[in-house]
Amino acid sequence: MKQKYLLALAILGILLVSGCIGEKPKQVNASDIIDNPQSYDGKAVTLSGVVVRNVGNFFGPEYELAVFDNSKEFNVETADQIALIPKEGSSLLDLSRTVSYTFDGRNYSLIEYHAITFEGTIHYVGEASDSPPFYFEVEGILEV
């Protein structure tokens, strides 16, 4: 009887721990993250949009995700943009292969349009004059 009780406790403990470790990313509205990035700090999320590579001489992230809620009304010049940084140490995540637009500080140039869904983690870093207050650490590409 005691062995069954201990076995049940061990199984329950394993299930609880494995459920907490493997947090699945959830699809969220980018506008929610932009409005309140602190509440998403450390959260696993999926975001969709097109990748913009900043090629001008200015401070800020090299890659950004221009996000949209409705692709039929998408305009890269007015879309919300979130800084993208590939997960450190991941040689498989080459964001240069996912670029749809380049931005030189004044103009956007279309390279090849393709919407992409990424999974990763939001990191809030606080307000700064030369960079966004948060970034999206890309851990994987779900859809191209």
Question: 49-108 pLDDT, tens per residue?
Answer: 999 999 987 778 899 999 876 556 778 888 889 999 999 877 678 899 999 999 998 999
Residue 90's Cα: distance from chain center in Å?
Answer: 15
pLDDT of residue 99: 95
User: Mean pLDDT across the stretch 18-32?
Assistant: 68
Q: What is the per-residue pLDDT across 101-137, written as a single tens digit (0 to 9) for each?
A: 999 989 999 999 888 999 999 999 888 776 788 999 9
Residue 62's Cα: distance from chain center in Å?
Answer: 14
Which CATH class for the 24-143 domain?
mainly beta
26 contacts: CB under 8 Å, gap ≥ 6: 44, 45, 46
Beta carbons of 42 and 122 less than 8 angstroms apart: yes
pTM of this structure: 0.76
Distances (CA, A) of 96 to 14, 17, 144: 40, 37, 14
Domain locations along the chain: 24-143
